[in-house]
Amino acid sequence: MSQERRNLSACIIDDDPIYQFTMKSILDKQKIVKDILVFKDGEQALDFFISNIDNDQDLPDVIFLDIDMPIMDGFQFMERYVELKPKVGKKIIIYMVSSSVDPKDIERAKKISEISDYIVKPVEPGKLKIILKDISNTIE
């Protein structure tokens, strides 16, 4: 059964290479994650989503999205994602992950129904494990 449970695909959208490495490392240690996509900004991620809109299995089950990135930030990505969402054939759970504790950012994220939660960096491995288990249970 544990082999079958390694079925989640995750996506990290963040411009910080150290954070990317850390998150990837934490996700790799989870026995639930099979694929990890990494994008350095919202535009790269959006291009990927648009290119794969008809192929659900290439799209992630969960996205960990940073706010502050060059080219296209997390909120700009969400504006475009909300427009794309009706064409996406699977449920994708999105967590906004940021070092910002600015109440305006947190409130803005909470107003976007597609964002499941706002997590302040650094992400604790234990919290990540709980998130992944919950997601795994909902997609089976």
Domain limits of the chain? 8-139
Give the pLDDT confidence score for residue 73 in this predicted structure. Answer: 96
Q: Give me 128's structure tokens.
A: 């990540």
Radius of gyration of the chain (CA): 14
pLDDT tens digits, residue range 9-61? 999 999 999 999 999 999 988 878 889 999 999 999 999 999 999 998 899 99
CA distances from 13 to 37, 67, 70 (A): 8, 9, 11
* Fold adopted by 8-139: Rossmann fold (3.40.50)
Of all residues in the chain, the percent with pLDDT exceeding 90 is 68
Question: Confidence class of residue 84 from pLDDT cuts 50, 70 and 90?
Answer: very high
**Residue 4 pLDDT more than 50?**
no
Across the chain, mean pLDDT equals 90
Question: Per-residue pLDDT averaged across 77-84, rounded?
Answer: 96
**Residue 69 pLDDT more than 90?**
yes
Give the pLDDT confidence score for residue 68 in this predicted structure. Answer: 94
Whether pTM exceeds 0.85: yes
